[in-house]
Amino acid sequence: MNDEKLTLNDIKLLMVDFMFAGIDTTSATLHWVMLYLCNNPHVQKRAQAEADRLVTTHGRLPCFEDMDAMPYTRAIIKEATRIRPVGPLGLPRQTIEEDTVAGYYIPKDAQVIYNTVGIHEGLYPEDTEMFKPERWLAANFNDSGNGPILPAAGSGRRRGSDLKTMAEDGAAPSSAPDEAGHRLDLLDGIYLFGQGRRLCPGERVGHGVHSSAYLRELEAIIKGDLAKGRDPRTDRELCYAEELLLTMNDEKLTLNDIKLLMVDFMFAGIDTTSATLHWVMLYLCNNPHVQKRAQAEADRLVTTHGRLPCFEDMDAMPYTRAIIKEATRIRPVGPLGLPRQTIEEDTVAGYYIPKDAQVIYNTVGIHEGLYPEDTEMFKPERWLAANFNDSGNGPILPAAGSGRRRGSDLKTMAEDGAAPSSAPDEAGHRLDLLDGIYLFGQGRRLCPGVHLALREMFILVSRLMACVTLDSALHPGKPFSDEAQFGLTALPKEKVLVTATERDPAMREMLNMEKRQVMKRRVSLSVHT
């Protein structure tokens, strides 16, 4: 550490990085390897024959030194990374100069993301869905250009024929690279580990382009409107990208900033929200009484307004919101928060935390601590104002943004089933998604997408409850296992396949009516543009 000018803290951060970056990725890839081995007994047989040859020669089990002598085993791993790359998209890069790739102009400072799945599919378009480890054996590359065009690890593109370098499958073991110094290794042709200088250090690898054509088109439409003295906002509902394009001068945003924001949102907002919805569906199927109560809430709204729930009904549907909140409590899809660095020393729960330490909050642990007596019970009613009272009933909840306050302070929302009200209570408090929930982080870098995520989930759950009854498609009437499988997001271990049974044909008619109205709006928008 002295030669490399590393502090003890740098070493700790490296250890944590390795844990975060190395465990899920490797184990997910191994899941695919196992799956394809089970699905392809002939592949297993050939790998076993290779292992047997090694065992017979050396009188011991394979060890790290045998990598070069077992090309078929390596080819199995490589084919699994090709056919199902566990990171479907690469990490973003910023271009340091302009360029043209496949006919697309890429400006300087653009954010580019390579599409690993797309690149891998393009390698063998004729049979991309076939698991064929033998693609990766040197015997299948020859100087007539047989084999795909493979980009080499770390340096530009080179022909597959250059890669005719490895010992043939089954040939005498040799650990030396061939005379040209090439190796048909895991990285040749595989983009799963990234590319270039920031290639995954656990292995080494791309490109792929985040197209900006759509954004430029939108910008032209907005500029066209403004040039004609027309404010697009008065004509139609704008999407987020259009709103940003309209305010980009005032906000000092470049087109590139907007692109980066869009990409950030896609990365940060899709998996997290969809994983949370998996849990919501699971717990709805497992708790028919919860569905019934949510359906009753939706029915009251439909009867009052003669339409399906919409965003404005959030405050009027506390039980639906409580379902979403309880799902985020019981199975937070991000089991750990993102790391923070302490700016001063402190003592927390008897533990001394030095300055400059990296701390990670344990979301699962905090959530479990809220209701230790029945933490594994899915009880949305915990989050209804009726269940908080001045005698301190309810857990001690940390309030969103400001210290800790007693649950009794939170007796603020309209009672479940009470008259709809969109106004916060007189104390200005709201029993909202963030009170007591750490899933979205805390403090200044709290998830900025929380309100969007809540609305997306609210609209889906409230409308589902208005229209259908959910049940497990795999084992009707029986609960799903609520065990979590940990990955980048913690998803249910069991596949949440559900059936949706229509409750009332009148709801279908309401949906169809809405669909017709949306289509009409779309037509008028395309006429406008």
- Annotated binding residue at 63? no
Six token digits for residue 232: 């697009």
**Least distance from ligand HEM to the Cβ atom of residue 461, Å:** 13
Which is closer to ligand HEM, CB of 25 or CB of 442? Answer: 442
Please answer whether residues 454 and 440 qualify as being in contact, where contact means their C-beta atoms are separated by less than 8 angstroms: no
Which is closer to ligand HEM, CB of 221 or CB of 452? Answer: 452
Query: Which residue type, as a one-letter code, is found at position 527?
Result: V
Residue among 86, 117, 327, 447 that touches ligand HEM (CB under 6 A): 447
Residue among 37, 446, 459, 474 that touches ligand HEM (CB under 6 A): 446
Interface of this chain with ligand HEM, residues 228 to 267, rule: CB under 6 A: 264-265
- The region of 153-161, 179-187, 330-338, 383-391 touching ligand HEM under the rule CB under 6 A is 330-338
Which is closer to ligand HEM, CB of 302 or CB of 461? Answer: 461
- The region of 35-43, 156-164, 295-303, 443-451 touching ligand HEM under the rule CB under 6 A is 443-451
337 binds ligand HEM (CB under 6 A): yes
CB burial class (10 A; 0-12, 13-18, 19+) of residue 403? exposed
CB environment 407-418: b (16+ within 10 A), e (fewer): bebbbbbbebee
441 binds ligand HEM (CB under 6 A): yes
Distance, CA of 340 to chain centre:
21
Report d(CA 177, CA 62) in Å as an integer: 19
Report d(CA 170, CA 70) in Å as an integer: 8
Interface of this chain with ligand HEM, residues 268 to 297, rule: CB under 6 A: 268-269, 272-273, 276
Report d(CA 293, CA 284) in Å as an integer: 11
Which is closer to ligand HEM, CB of 187 or CB of 454? Answer: 454
Six token digits for residue 176: 């030396």
449 binds ligand HEM (CB under 6 A): yes
**Least distance from ligand HEM to the Cβ atom of residue 322, Å:** 16
Query: How many Cβ atoms are within 10 Å of 4's Cβ, its own excluded?
Result: 7
Which is closer to ligand HEM, CB of 71 or CB of 334? Answer: 334
Six token digits for residue 476: 């009707």
# binding residues, ligand HEM (CB under 6 A): 22
Please answer whether residues 399 and 409 qualify as being in contact, where contact means their C-beta atoms are separated by less than 8 angstroms: yes
Sign of CA dihedral 6, 10, 12, 16: negative
Which spans of this chain sit near ligand HEM (rule: CB under 6 A)? 264-265, 268-269, 272-273, 276, 333-334, 337-338, 439-442, 445-449, 452-453
Point out the annotated binding site for heme.
Answer: 447
